[in-house]
Amino acid sequence: MIEINHHHRQPHTPATREFTPAVKAELEAIAARYPRREAALLPALRLLEREYGCVDEPGMIHVAKLVGVSPSKVYGVFTFYTHYRRPSDGKYSIQVCSTLTCALKGSEQVFDHLSQKLGIGKDGTTPDRMFTLKKVECLGNCDQGPCMQINDDFVDAVTPAGCDKLVDEMRNAKDEFHPPPQKYHLPPNKYAPVMIKHALEDGSDTLAHYRNRGGYETARSIIHGAKTPDEVIEIVFASGLRGRGGAGFSTGQKWKFLAKNDKPRYLVINADESEPGTFKDKLLIDRDPHGLIEGIILAAYAIKAQHSYIYIRGEFAFGAKMLQKAVDEAYAAGLLGKGVMGSQMEIHVTVHRGAGAYICGEETGLISSLEGGRGHPKIKPPFPAVEGAWGCPTIVNNVETLFTLPYILKNGADWFRSFGTAKSPGTKLFSISGHVLRPGNYELPLGVPLKELIYDIAGGIPNGKKLKAVCPGGSSSPFLTADEVLADGDKLIRLDFESLQAAGSMLGSGAIVVMDETTCMVDVCWNILRFYAHESCGQCTPCREGTGWIAKMAGRFEKGGGDASEIDMLDEVAWSMVGRTICVLADAAAMPARSIVKKWRSEFEAHAAGHACPLQHHKPPKHNKSGHQAGHQHA
């Protein structure tokens, strides 16, 4: 189904929208939590969605007036994010994840099945306005792939037969249908977990449960003077904790970079977990939100931030609910707010939902989004620690990083350093998915050999298949061949920052995607490039144009339309994107693509020679001359 006009209006959309006084009051309360009113824009669009079922044009005009920005700003913001409900969306928006792991697990077949069953294509809506079918990018639930979301609810391990059942249930539901809640699992792990050992216990998300296991005691003692803020910073610095979001920068050092001026300071928690293959923060958010809040209290105390904002990706609606519940509990118990735990401290936490944009995981893109804008990364310097949210010194820390703090501050820097390696101390969560027997989250000391995780801990490759490739640190990391992964001695690859860097890749977010011998690497290349083309914010020329170009080229190769002489060109174009842009999304697209072109060049050659995918993953198109698939289609 081709939509020529993106802006068509629903038949019964009124010319104007107006919130009830109660909703307006709700918006005022939201706006009061930010230093600038525009920051209430993304939440206000959520209110529109809730009140009217979608974000429509008159609604945007109303919100523009309430938030104090121009209607076009709202329109620009709305069209930047993919997760808001469009006026064209049916009652159930079925969003099938199409990114790396889910694709390896057969999400394309799931999508095709749904498409056939519902009689609609990508972004199509059934005539009864019951279903809209979407292909979406990584939902951060990779160990359960192929996964999808029905509106805000996750559905794990979807099969074509399962789809039939779901569709029937939705059709027959008297009220609104919700799939059963997600089941969490932690596979057995010979390295006894420290931080996530309670995550699966009943009620682990409640304040009572957290307190029963000694929760908030570290924060209480420190806030009451056991450590000064500077001492906390020194301990964290001494622990060698490195950011768990992907860059691996020293957390203590980052805190030390804070500009010393009269401006307020902000702590922003990056819960925009969206690096393909990564699903670790989701576990912490859903199952142990108080652990995160205690970490926030400690960090806020250390850096003297009165207000912290948890920026959680839009797709994690359940996670946002869990966080909000935990934050409310903490406020009610005097753990947050004015006079935290009976002290003179004032610490506020606001849960801020994103709306579907990978780039908001980049810290300056996140700040732009938090401020109420499109998630455009900002030019650095100035770094956020000097000029961040609302122009004030800001620390952006990943969920897992903050989650680690209570453990470090309770047990000391030396205790933390007793795990891991000298330069990569501590334990870290690793999300492993793809072709392994036991995908899931594993808390491991840094430095465990990658092959030990794959073959021993996660059970190896199923069905007696051989390993072909590993993406060791999220899809932005250069891919490794089986030979590299299996090497010993000097070449042994360990799961720490240095070892993976030495191997020409990176630890990133600790997301390991395993691909067996049946995997077509050209298809993989196309898959991840589609992701980056879809997620490029579009500011910088090389990224905006380059990501789309190389994605289309890879797609053409996969469908048999490539020529061997173009393989070098794909690599060259990717290379010309590197280091030329405001943020590193362009590099994140180019580096893994280049690694695949370099290491599996023969597969590109085979595609070109046979004018088709040798593994028949994608048949050549019948009519489309170039065979490219639109990377994305925004409403």
Q: Contact at 8 Å (CB) between 520 and 603?
A: yes
Of positions 135, 287, 307, 632, contacts another protein by CB under 8 A: 632
Of positions 44, 536, 567, 593, contacts another protein by CB under 8 A: 536
Compare residues 386 and 487 and give the one whose CB is closer to another protein: 386
Give the separation between CA 68 and CA 106, rounded to whole angstroms.
Answer: 46
End-to-end CA distance of the chain: 13
DSSP annotation of 281 reads: H
Q: Contact at 8 Å (CB) between 480 and 503?
A: yes
Task: Give the angle 129-130-135 at the CA atoms, nearest 5°.
Answer: 95
Pairing label, strands 92-97, 131-136: parallel
| 167 interacts with another protein by CB under 8 A | no
Considering the complex, what minimum distance in angstroms separates the CB of residue 26 from another protein?
Answer: 24
Compare residues 247 and 569 and give the one whose CB is closer to another protein: 569
Of positions 165, 304, 619, 634, contacts another protein by CB under 8 A: 634
- Which of 74-82, 188-196, 204-212, 260-268 is the region at the interface with another protein (rule: CB under 8 A)? 74-82
- Which of 53-61, 236-244, 484-492, 509-517 is the region at the interface with another protein (rule: CB under 8 A)? 53-61
The CA distances from residue 498 to 424, 507, 578, 624, in Å, are 8, 8, 22, 45
Compare residues 92 and 383 and give the one whose CB is closer to another protein: 383
> In sequence order, what are the beta bridge partners of 41?
none
Considering the complex, what minimum distance in angstroms separates the CB of residue 535 from another protein?
Answer: 7
| 70 interacts with another protein by CB under 8 A | yes
Of positions 156, 452, 498, 545, contacts another protein by CB under 8 A: 545
Considering the complex, what minimum distance in angstroms separates the CB of residue 534 from another protein?
Answer: 7
Task: Give the angle 30-152-354 at the CA atoms, nearest 5°.
Answer: 40
| 17 interacts with another protein by CB under 8 A | no
Strand, coil or helix: 247:
coil
Residues between 496 and 535 with contacts to another protein, criterion CB under 8 A: 533-535
| 191 interacts with another protein by CB under 8 A | no
- Which of 247-255, 319-327, 419-427, 549-557 is the region at the interface with another protein (rule: CB under 8 A)? 549-557
Residues between 555 and 614 with contacts to another protein, criterion CB under 8 A: 556, 569, 573, 576, 579-582
Q: Contact at 8 Å (CB) between 195 and 281?
A: no
In sequence order, what are the residues at sequence separation of 6 or more whose Cβ sits closer than 8 angstroms to the Cβ of residue 480? Answer: 450, 469, 470, 471, 472, 493, 503, 505
Compare residues 505 and 539 and give the one whose CB is closer to another protein: 539
Question: Tokens 């280091």 map to which residue?
Answer: 579
CA dihedral 556, 467, 282, 501 (to 10 degrees): -90
> In sequence order, what are the beta bridge partners of 134?
95
Of positions 74, 155, 312, 327, contacts another protein by CB under 8 A: 74
Give the separation between CA 274 and CA 288, rounded to whole angstroms.
Answer: 19
Task: Report CA torsion sign: 572, 578, 581, 585.
Answer: positive
Considering the complex, what minimum distance in angstroms separates the CB of residue 546 from another protein?
Answer: 6
Compare residues 227 and 556 and give the one whose CB is closer to another protein: 556
Considering the complex, what minimum distance in angstroms separates the CB of residue 591 from another protein?
Answer: 15
Task: Give the angle 507-513-516 at the CA atoms, nearest 5°.
Answer: 135
Considering the complex, what minimum distance in angstroms separates the CB of residue 86 from another protein?
Answer: 13
| 80 interacts with another protein by CB under 8 A | yes
Enter the tokens of residue 173. 């539901």
Compare residues 277 and 548 and give the one whose CB is closer to another protein: 548
Compare residues 119 and 579 and give the one whose CB is closer to another protein: 579
In sequence order, what are the residues at sequence separation of 6 or more whose Cβ sits closer than 8 angstroms to the Cβ of residue 227? Answer: 235, 409
Considering the complex, what minimum distance in angstroms separates the CB of residue 79 from another protein?
Answer: 4
Of positions 47, 54, 60, 147, contacts another protein by CB under 8 A: 60
| 626 interacts with another protein by CB under 8 A | yes
Pairing label, strands 346-353, 307-312: parallel
Phi, psi (degrees; rounded to nearest 5) at 476: -80, -5
Considering the complex, what minimum distance in angstroms separates the CB of residue 254 from another protein?
Answer: 21
Of positions 48, 69, 312, 514, contacts another protein by CB under 8 A: 69
| 72 interacts with another protein by CB under 8 A | yes
Compare residues 482 and 569 and give the one whose CB is closer to another protein: 569
| Binding-residue pattern over the window 376 to 415 for another protein, x denoting contact by CB under 8 A | ---x------------------------------------
| Binding-residue pattern over the window 218 to 237 for another protein, x denoting contact by CB under 8 A | --------------------
Of positions 553, 588, 593, 596, contacts another protein by CB under 8 A: 553
> In sequence order, what are the beta bridge partners of 338?
346
Percent helix, strand, coil in the chain, to 5, is: 45, 15, 45
| Entry field: residues in the chain | 635
Of positions 58, 160, 162, 449, contacts another protein by CB under 8 A: 58
Q: Contact at 8 Å (CB) between 623 and 617?
A: no
Considering the complex, what minimum distance in angstroms separates the CB of residue 512 from another protein?
Answer: 27
The interaxial angle of helices 601-610 and 521-535, nearest 10 deg, is 100
Point out which residues bind another protein (CB under 8 A): 7, 57-58, 60-61, 64, 69-77, 79-80, 357, 374, 379, 533-542, 544-549, 552-553, 556, 569, 573, 576, 579-582, 626, 628, 631-634
